[in-house]
């Protein structure tokens, strides 16, 4: 349960973070160690505790027993682990779909109240750049990775409806320190806003049974709807537009009929991962 620590900041109790050694996981870990009473950090690569309230586990998410053991005592789970880009479908099914199933099943068996799942904007990558896309729009994945994340969301919905878990899926944008290419002007998710979304998802009331939201900064050119104030209680603050001077091609207008996914929507991006 959320409370207040001695400094007056919100405390998230015991939070488990999968994929804690990853790019996003490392940023989240640094912030949450000061806001959670205890952090349980999982990754398939070895981690060392860096604070007294950190506990680390070397875990392969395909090992359901190891996942359940590591999540003992957690109040909530931030599931960032998995494969983060296009790959052969069998690998994506194992890393993303099966791994998420094991996290959700461990949460069910452990009585964990909240699971935040890292989904991706790539579940809707084939909508046109001129279409402001929201969670209510049917999925249109731009590749096999997007398919795996659509399945992750479906698993979250199942565990919310059937077993009463509170599950929030965040469709993460382009997480970068700063935007570096024209597409990022629409898709950028700054580290500051990423932390804001994760905090809001962890702190959402237990009555939030299931929700899907785009985690994207307040970019002037964004493709996606921002969550309403009653959905997550976080309004992003950064805008990629302030970086246009440093991005080649930023002065050219995007084709509103082109897929939001940009190069990820090209057949070649997926063909190289299919059997010849």
CATH code where residue 210 lies: 3.40.50.720
Give helix 144-163 / helix 99-110 axis angle, nearest 10°.
Answer: 20
Residue 245 lies in a domain: no
Output the pLDDT for position 10. Answer: 52
Residue 257 lies in a domain: no
pLDDT tens readout for residues 176-204:
999 999 999 999 999 999 999 999 999 99
Residue 156 lies in a domain: yes
Total-model pTM: 0.94
Q: Is 154 helix (H, G, I), strand (E, B) or coil?
A: helix
Position 79 pLDDT exceeds 90: yes
Rounded mean pLDDT, 155-169:
98
Residue 244 lies in a domain: no
Distances (CA, A) of 198 to 17, 31, 172, 204, 218: 11, 11, 10, 10, 16
Output the pLDDT for position 275. Answer: 85
Residue 26 lies in a domain: yes
Catalytic residue annotation: 145
Rounded mean pLDDT, 31-58:
97
Position 7 pLDDT exceeds 70: no
Cα–Cα distance, 57 to 26 (Å, whole number): 15
Choice among 3-17, 71-85, 169-183, 196-210 with the minimum mean pLDDT: 3-17
- Categorize the per-residue pLDDT at 228 as very low, low, confident or very high, splitting at 50, 70 and 90: confident
> Does residue 233 contact residue 226 with C-beta atoms inside 8 Å?
no
Percent of the chain with pLDDT over 90: 91
Position 127 pLDDT exceeds 80: yes
Domain span at residue 27? 3-239
Cα–Cα distance, 94 to 92 (Å, whole number): 5
Q: Is 64 helix (H, G, I), strand (E, B) or coil?
A: helix
Q: Supply the Cα-derived Rg of the chain in whole angstroms.
A: 18
What mean pLDDT is reported for the chain?
94
Into how many domains does the chain fold?
A: 1
Residue 28 lies in a domain: yes
Please name the residues in contact with 29: beta carbons below 8 A apart, sequence gap of 6 or more. 17, 20, 39, 41, 50, 54
Residue 264 lies in a domain: no
Residue 268 lies in a domain: no
């Amino acid at each position: 349960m959320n409370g207040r620590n001695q400094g007056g900041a919100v405390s998230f109790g015991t939070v488990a973070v999968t994929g804690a050694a990853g790019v996003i996981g490392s940023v989240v870990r640094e912030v949450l160690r000061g806001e959670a009473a205890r952090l349980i950090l999982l990754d398939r690569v070895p981690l060392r505790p860096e604070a007294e309230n950190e506990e680390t586990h070397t875990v392969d998410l395909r090992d359901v027993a190891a996942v359940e053991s590591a999540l003992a005592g957690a109040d909530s789970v931030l599931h960032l682990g998995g494969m983060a880009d296009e790959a052969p479908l069998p690998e994506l099914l194992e890393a993303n779909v099966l791994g998420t199933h094991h996290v959700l099943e461990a949460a069910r068996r452990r009585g964990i109240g909240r699971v935040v799942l890292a989904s991706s904007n790539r579940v809707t990558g084939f909508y046109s750049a001129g279409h402001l896309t929201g969670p209510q729009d049917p999925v249109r994945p731009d590749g096999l990775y997007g398919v795996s994340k659509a399945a992750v969301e479906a698993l979250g919905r199942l565990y919310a409806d059937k077993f009463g878990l509170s599950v929030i899926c965040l469709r993460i944008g382009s997480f970068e320190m700063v935007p570096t290419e024209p597409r990022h002007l629409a898709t950028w998710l700054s580290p500051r806003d990423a932390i804001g979304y994760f905090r809001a998802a962890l702190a959402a009331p237990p009555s939030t049974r299931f929700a899907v939201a785009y985690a994207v900064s307040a970019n002037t050119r964004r493709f996606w709807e921002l969550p309403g104030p009653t959905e997550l209680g976080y309004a992003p603050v950064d805008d990629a537009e302030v970086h246009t001077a440093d991005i080649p091609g930023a002065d050219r207008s995007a084709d509103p009929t082109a897929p939001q996914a940009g190069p990820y929507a090209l057949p070649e991006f997926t063909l190289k991962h299919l059997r010849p």
